[in-house]
Each structure stands twice: as structure tokens, then as C-alpha cells.
Amino acid sequence: MSENQLKNQASASVGDETSESADAVLDGDLVRDVTIAEFPQLVELSKQVPVVLDMWAPWCAPCRQLGPVLEQLVQEYAGKIVLAKVNVDEQAELAQAFRVQSVPAVFLLLDGHPAPLFTGALPASTVRAAFDKVLELAASQGVAGRLRVHEAPAESLAPRETPNPNYPKRCARRQNWLRPENSRPPSKHTKNTCGKTRRGNRRRAAAGQGAARCARRK
């Protein structure tokens, strides 16, 4: 598909008709991989929600830096901007149609019309400013739709027992259990792993034996 064909396809999809429910709430993925076969659907979507095209390649280090920034910001804008990722190695026709000379290259698809946005791995603050301008331009053209954001259910966290700070750390590391508050550790564990307790037991045993010898002498 040539550049002229893409432009003609975009112009034909826009025409003089206005989009249905420009401020509608739609279902779909905020971040998606796009092929040339899916590009017509992306043109239709841009009539309701601004679409940012990320032209990237797996071997490109700046692309790997910019990608997470774009994805994070798209999530922050809560469905007001859609991110479409185009692998230029796999979608060479799209890259050629957009005249991509270096990656990463970011384009805007708004109301069916493509336009360059920026190139290179920019910091998050600069990308956020570009996204703000995209939303201002979209509002001026009546493109005010958004995608519905599905929040992931919060995971239920089981209550955790708090270990007793008075419990010897050396002994606690040797067991896979947490000692509840105000409870004593098992006697077997204490005798086998706590050196101080074992020494104390030996001293008491020796003292007992000494006392018994003194009693016999008397």
C-alpha cells in the first residue's frame, strides 16, 4: 500500500460526514500492535479517539526506552489517547508509506489524517506536553471520544503475622514460621538452635551436679 493510497483511504473514510458519537465511550485496548491489514480500522477509530502511532524496531535501544514511557502516559490519560505500535521490520509497507527514515518515529492519526508528532526517545515531560497538544487539537476538531478503561480487580491480601522483635533473629532465620506475639518458641527449637540457651542448660546442669556432691560430702 503506497502513501497516496493511505492518504486516499483516510480522506475517504472522513469525507464530509461527521463521526458517530464523537464523545462516545468505546471498548478496546489502549495499547495495541497494528498491522497493515488493521490500519483501516485504526483510521475509523481515529475519528473518535486520537491515535498515536509508535514506529519502532526490536533492535532499537531508543525504542525500548520510549516504549514504556508512551505506554505509561497512555494509561495516565485514561482512554483519551490510543497507542498503536508498528514494528517496522514486520510492517515495512506501513513504514514506507509514512516515510520512516529512523526509529523511534511517532505519528498522530486524528480524524483519519496522519501527521508527524516527534522522533527520538524524548523524556516523559516532553511527551506529556505533546499529548496535551494532541488533546487540544482533537477537542478543536470535535474528536472527544475515549476508550473504556477496565481496572484490574484488587488482589485480596491475607493478613500477615508480625514477628516478635524480642525473638532471637538467629533462631528465627532457621525456621519457616513467624512467632506470634507474646508466645514462646518451641522448646525443641530453642534447645537445638539457640547457643545461649544450650550453654545456660549446661551451666544449670553443672550447678546441680555440684550441689549434689556437696550434699553427699555433708
User: Which residues does the annotation mark as catalytic?
Assistant: 60, 63
Distance between CA 199 and CA 133 in Å, rounded?
74
What cell does 203 get? 551451666
Instruction: Order the strands of the 82-87 sheet from edge to edge.
Output: 31-33, 82-87, 51-56, 105-110, 113-119
112: left (phi over 0), alpha (psi -120 to 50) or beta: left
End-to-end CA distance of the chain: 113
